[in-house]
A and B are shown apart, each in its own frame.
Chain A
Amino acid sequence: MTNTLNCENLSKKYGDVVAVADVGFTIAPGEAYGLLGPNGAGKTTTISMLVGLLKPDTGTVVVGGTDLATDPMAAKAKIGYVPQEIALYPDLTGRENLRFFGRLFGLPRKELRGRIDEVLDLVGLADRADAKLDTYSGGMKRRINIGAALLHRPELLILDEPTVGVDPQSRKAILDGVERLVADGMALLYTSHYMEEVERICHRVAIIDHGAIVAEGTRHELVELVGGADRIELTLDGDVETAIAKLRGVGGVTEAARTAAGSVRLIAEGGRYLLPAIIATVDGIATVTAVEVVEPDLEATFLHLTGSTLRD
């Protein structure tokens, strides 16, 4: 089967700073591919090159068999791009926004009218279609933001952080809708700070750090990279930094870092059995006020590979 997206050796430098180095991956029809990385890892630069906003220094992007460099119009017509920000016109209604972007993609007037209704149904906003966008909630705007990329039935949908700042109801609607699209055969490239979303939706995941892909595979394959290590979340009260330094010396602990939320995250082989030793190590330095043990997951893998949590 021909891949919907095939990118190879993508590189981009800004002066001496390497933003993306030799990135390549493929996405098959009906496959959801997650791109994970901390802020500044190169995700946005990679996506910008995939949708033709940035010209790569090296490498090729082929969408649905069409080379983006040699036939950009045809290649772009196969992509539905949903940027991270709400890239819509607040003074227009939801329907008017969809009409504008549909026309840009060259949809005939009659077909566009039908497609707008279909997309409004898909994102669950048919009843608010004629209200101005600036009266929408954040979640509703996000849904129209996605809808604008679906009008022309793209072969490849690129979603860049589509659920940032949305309410649980809208998030569920978005994820349900995305799963339906993938089930119908659309290829998906998905980035998110929410690991549970990536684990739920994506068949394969690439972890990108410092502009390069450091690991790629299915969720199971990636989790295997950190072995049978458990993730332990400790909430400490006291000298946390000294405690972290001491914890790194506990046998079996392979990672110890402070999270953005202020807790301490440990990766440890058979971690649940090390709890007495861990608590004894911090005794007198800090008080353990809460403990959570999580079996190996993508979050642990990410921490293991990049040394930081996804939301840092």
Chain B
Amino acid sequence: MLRPLLTVSALEFRTRVRDRTALVIAIIVPVAMATLFGVALGGDDPPLRATVGFVDLDGGEFPAGVRREVMASTELDGVLTLRDLPGREQAQTALDAGDIGAAIVFPKGFSASVGAGEGGQVGVLTSADSPLAGVVANAVVDRISSLVRARTLAVRASLDAGIPAAEVKEFVERNGATGPALTLENDPMAGGKVDLSVYYGAGMAALFAFFVVGASFRSLLIERKQGTLDRMRAGPIHAWVPIAGKAVVGFALAMVSVCVTWASSVLIFGSTWGDPVAVFTLLLAHVLAATAITMLVASRARTDAQADGVIMVISFVAAFFGGSLVPLYNLPDLLQKIALFTPNAWTTTGLTGLAGSGAGLASVAAPIGVLCAIALAAFCLAAMGFRKGLLG
């Protein structure tokens, strides 16, 4: 059984290699598409750095306290740089010139107003050219607002309790905490933080695996048409040898395709897909599922053209619903549920999880299990289809 299998596989491999389109479909196009998507839509997230103007028209203790807290914050270390500016107009000029990304303006009398329990308003200047700096500045101001509200409430409560106005300030500071360090609450990518070069690399790998392995099963139907399949089957070989021989080569070439796409993403973008063993195993499971699904199509198709068309449709539908073309978290809830029926969704989710978390093989056990289940079901249906059709 092994020798005929190797003979069929060798011929299939040679034919695919001689046919330059195999090289194009397996390597050039997926790598090019992943690269283009990565360059156009993502690549590594830009580092979160912002220079924020600091306009202290108050000169009181509150702006000084904020400055101290910002400078002392470990979370803001290396992220936020404060640049002192004398007034609001100068801040606006610097903002327009791109020297700063945003500005925080403490109005005159701010500290006194807060100290008297009357609250206060901090101004924020932002620019559409520097959205991240605006987010950082607003996050700082939000935190300030919390402190101001807390201080105002404490002062009012103290006054209502009969504390003399002259002693309220000392009373509040003696009994009130200074509050936690400033934190950035408005992370712009919270909940969906991914490296898009990894995301689209995984997507293209998942999509093109179908095309690569599908080409082998298409050639099986071409062989049926040209009579070589029957000629093989009339020889002393097991009926499954021609199918298995094609499947082995399609599977191997698809593995090469996904691994090259993975390697190119790492080399071009410097991306990290995560634990190599976990990534490889997940890709292996995906290619197995793609092999089984395309085999199922070939087992039911009447002609190679019909198989080609169906594989194309299945590949793109699975790619769309599975998040290979549009990030899954951008899809509506219903479509995200539909995505669970596609191997692409499990592969893409698994790969982006690995890239984001640095977890190992155990963390993608569920996606691998689902992909293997899809493969098993499709293999069984394909076997039944071949028994009734091609091998009937």
A is bound by B: yes
**CA–CA, A79 and B237, complex, Å:** 13
The minimal Cβ–Cβ distance linking B155 to chain A, given in whole angstroms, is 89
**CA–CA, A106 and B3, complex, Å:** 8
Residue pairs across A and B with CB atoms within 8 Å: the count is 57
Which residue of chain B is the closest to A105 with respect to CB atoms?
Answer: B235
Question: Interface digits, A81-108 against B, CB 8 Å rule (1 contact, 0 not)?
Answer: 1010111110100000000110111100
On whether the beta carbons of B227 and A104 are closer than 8 Å, the reply is no
On whether the beta carbons of A85 and B226 are closer than 8 Å, the reply is yes
Decide yes or no whether A1 CB sits under 8 A from chain B. no
Most buried by B among A73, A85, A87: A87
Chain A residues in 8 Å Cβ range of B4: 103-104, 106
Decide yes or no whether B11 CB sits under 8 A from chain A. yes
User: B230-271: which have CB < 8 Å to A?
Assistant: 230-237
**CA–CA, A71 and B4, complex, Å:** 17
**CA–CA, A73 and B8, complex, Å:** 17
**CA–CA, A103 and B230, complex, Å:** 16
Decide yes or no whether A213 CB sits under 8 A from chain B. no
Dominant SS at the A interface? loop
The minimal Cβ–Cβ distance linking A1 to chain B, given in whole angstroms, is 25
Chain A residues in 8 Å Cβ range of B230: 53, 83, 87
Chain B residues in 8 Å Cβ range of A270: none
On whether the beta carbons of B227 and A85 are closer than 8 Å, the reply is yes
On whether the beta carbons of A89 and B234 are closer than 8 Å, the reply is no
On whether the beta carbons of B7 and A100 are closer than 8 Å, the reply is yes
**CA–CA, A104 and B235, complex, Å:** 7
Decide yes or no whether B178 CB sits under 8 A from chain A. no
On whether the beta carbons of A76 and B11 are closer than 8 Å, the reply is no
**CA–CA, A53 and B234, complex, Å:** 6
**CA–CA, A105 and B233, complex, Å:** 11
Decide yes or no whether A52 CB sits under 8 A from chain B. yes
Question: Interface digits, B60-72 against A, CB 8 Å rule (1 contact, 0 not)?
Answer: 0000000000000
On whether the beta carbons of B7 and A103 are closer than 8 Å, the reply is yes
- Is the interface on chain A under 10, 10 to 19, 20 to 34, or 35 or more residues? 20 to 34
Which residue of chain B is the closest to A72 with respect to CB atoms?
Answer: B236
Chain B residues in 8 Å Cβ range of A106: 3-4, 236
**CA–CA, A258 and B59, complex, Å:** 117
On whether the beta carbons of A104 and B237 are closer than 8 Å, the reply is yes
Question: Interface digits, A50-73 against B, CB 8 Å rule (1 contact, 0 not)?
Answer: 011100000000000000000011
Decide yes or no whether B15 CB sits under 8 A from chain A. yes
On whether the beta carbons of A76 and B234 are closer than 8 Å, the reply is yes
Decide yes or no whether B357 CB sits under 8 A from chain A. no
Question: Interface digits, B11-24 against A, CB 8 Å rule (1 contact, 0 not)?
Answer: 10001001000000
On whether the beta carbons of B227 and A77 are closer than 8 Å, the reply is no
The listed residue (A86, A89, A100, A105) touching B236 by CB distance below 8 A is A105
Chain B residues in 8 Å Cβ range of A77: 235-236
On whether the beta carbons of A100 and B11 are closer than 8 Å, the reply is yes
User: A164-207: which have CB < 8 Å to B?
Assistant: none
Which residue of chain A is the closest to B8 with respect to CB atoms?
Answer: A104
Known: A89-B11, A100-B7, A104-B7. A83 touches B236 (CB 8 A): no
Decide yes or no whether B228 CB sits under 8 A from chain A. yes
On whether the beta carbons of B18 and A91 are closer than 8 Å, the reply is yes
On whether the beta carbons of A87 and B226 are closer than 8 Å, the reply is yes
Decide yes or no whether A250 CB sits under 8 A from chain B. no
Chain A residues in 8 Å Cβ range of B234: 51-53, 76, 79, 81, 83
The minimal Cβ–Cβ distance linking A69 to chain B, given in whole angstroms, is 14
Which residue of chain B is the closest to A78 with respect to CB atoms?
Answer: B236
Decide yes or no whether A280 CB sits under 8 A from chain B. no
Decide yes or no whether A260 CB sits under 8 A from chain B. no
Chain A residues in 8 Å Cβ range of B3: 103, 106
Which residue of chain A is the closest to B230 with respect to CB atoms?
Answer: A53
On whether the beta carbons of A88 and B232 are closer than 8 Å, the reply is no
**CA–CA, A103 and B235, complex, Å:** 10
The minimal Cβ–Cβ distance linking A294 to chain B, given in whole angstroms, is 36
Most buried by A among B7, B15, B232: B7
User: A84-135: which have CB < 8 Å to B?
Assistant: 85-89, 91, 100-101, 103-106
Chain B residues in 8 Å Cβ range of A79: 234
**CA–CA, A86 and B237, complex, Å:** 20
Which residue of chain A is the closest to B3 with respect to CB atoms?
Answer: A106
Chain B residues in 8 Å Cβ range of A87: 226-228, 230-231
Known: A76-B236, A79-B234, A105-B235. A91 touches B15 (CB 8 A): yes
Chain B residues in 8 Å Cβ range of A91: 15, 18
Most buried by A among B7, B228, B231: B231
The minimal Cβ–Cβ distance linking B234 to chain A, given in whole angstroms, is 4
User: A6-31: which have CB < 8 Å to B?
Assistant: none
Decide yes or no whether A74 CB sits under 8 A from chain B. yes
**CA–CA, A172 and B236, complex, Å:** 31
Chain B residues in 8 Å Cβ range of A74: 236
The minimal Cβ–Cβ distance linking B353 to chain A, given in whole angstroms, is 44
Chain B residues in 8 Å Cβ range of A72: 236
**CA–CA, A101 and B7, complex, Å:** 9
On whether the beta carbons of A52 and B228 are closer than 8 Å, the reply is no
Known: A73-B236, A76-B236, A91-B18. A83 touches B231 (CB 8 A): yes
Chain A residues in 8 Å Cβ range of B11: 89, 100
The minimal Cβ–Cβ distance linking A47 to chain B, given in whole angstroms, is 10
Question: Interface digits, B336-377 against A, CB 8 Å rule (1 contact, 0 not)?
Answer: 000000000000000000000000000000000000000000
**CA–CA, A77 and B234, complex, Å:** 9
The contact sample of 9 A-B pairs, CB cut-off 8 A, is A51-B234, A53-B233, A53-B234, A85-B227, A86-B226, A89-B11, A100-B11, A104-B232, A148-B231
A positions within 8 Å CB-CB of B: 51-53, 72-74, 76-77, 79, 81, 83, 85-89, 91, 100-101, 103-106, 148
B positions within 8 Å CB-CB of A: 3-4, 7-8, 11, 15, 18, 226-228, 230-237
